[in-house]
Amino acid sequence: MNDMAVQASHLSKSFGPKQVIDDLSFEVSRGDVIGVLGKNGAGKTTLLELMLGFTPPSGGAVSVFGHASGQLPGGVKSRVGFVPQQDELLDQLSVADQLKVIASFYEAWDANLIERLCAEWRLDPKARIKSMSVGERQKLSILLAFGHRPDLLVLDEPVASLDPMARRQFLEQLVDASADGQRAIIFSSHIVSDIERLANRIWILKDGRLNWHGDLDSIKESVVRLHIRGAEQVLAGLSVPGALSQRHEGAFATVVVRDWTPARQHSIEESAAVEVEVESLGLEEIFLELHR
């Protein structure tokens, strides 16, 4: 059995003249929890859709559990779960009926888990979907993707409409699902704090390319803000390689760098005769700086 959940090489997608995804290559192993960040229109949804075969790539290839995404056999499909950005529930049905309809497509459906989560998340099985609020609909969409215990879970903005408590419940559930290290989870979100909690790897999509892909821990250690103190003339002429932004006021300068290592601190201090203090940044700050 192939251990690679998803594998892509030189993946690209364009809609007419517009290049949405440009030459992406990546691997997702079982046990990874990947958070996909990007501005609106950066191509997050398109990327997730390419991965699962909803839309054919314009170039390159992507495969899921060893099979090409466009032709996934039934066995592989039952190992994949997807939560779309806009729910696809059947308005006229009740919650219980909708669950039963989807459950009937899968051989392995964990009814106990679904029942427990319905109670915890306060979804009334008899409620009509068309009378439910947006948050409840989203919770139901998430449940529909969990029920068959997929090995690969792909979620497109799953918590956009959930209140903080519902979000926390959902996160706890995802944590539980990822705890055995056998599942691969890929989710895109605007809510950076959720990604910070949950992901161990980060993909930052900018203009269709992976601006950053790597461990969350290493991105926090690599993108830092430097507070530099020194003589004004020295600071004015200071150039730090890999700087994303630089600000200079009198005897102080603030520089945000990527690819930072602790060794560079000494080399800068010695070569320029300045004092450097390193401030680590949260993921939201990092995201903003990378998009400046």
Best CA proximity match to 83, nearest among 28, 136, 139: 139
- Pick the piece of the chain touching other proteins (CB under 8 A) from 21-29, 102-110, 118-126, 265-273: 102-110
Q: Measured from the CB atom, is 8 or 192 closer to other proteins?
A: 192
Please give the structure tokens belonging to residue 35: 């958070």
DSSP assigned state of 24: E
Nearest C-alpha neighbor of 158 from the set 54, 47, 83:
83
CA distance 189 to 186: 10
Binding residue count for other proteins, defined by CB under 8 A: 61
State the minimum distance, in angstroms, from the CB of residue 72 to other proteins. Answer: 8
**Residue 100 or 248 with smaller CB distance to other proteins:** 100
Torsion of the alpha carbons at 251, 256, 262 and 264, rounded to the nearest 10: -70
Is residue 27 close enough to count as binding other proteins by CB under 8 A? no
Angstrom distance (rounded) from CA 222 to CA 199: 17
Q: Please, which residue, 77 or 248, has the CB nearer to other proteins?
A: 77
Q: Does 199 bind other proteins (CB under 8 A)?
A: yes
Residue window 35-74: x/- pattern of binding to other proteins, with contact defined by CB under 8 A: --------------x--xxxxx-------------x-x-x
Quick check: 34 and 187 in contact, CB under 8 A?
yes
Per-residue contact string for residues 156-185; x = within reach of other proteins by CB under 8 A: ------------x--xx--xx-xx-x----
Q: Which residues contact 246 (CB under 8 A, 6 or more apart)?
A: 240, 253, 254, 255, 256
Site string for other proteins, 250-279 (x = CB under 8 A): ---------------------------x-x
With b for 16 or more beta-carbon neighbours within 10 A and e for fewer, the 178-211 pattern comes to: beeeebbbbbbbebbebbebbbebbbbbbebbbb
Which chain residues interact with other proteins by CB under 8 A? 31, 33, 49, 52-56, 70, 72, 74-75, 77-78, 80-82, 84, 86, 88, 90, 92-94, 97, 100-102, 104-106, 130, 144, 168, 171-172, 175-176, 178-179, 181, 192-193, 196-200, 216-217, 220-221, 224, 277, 279-285
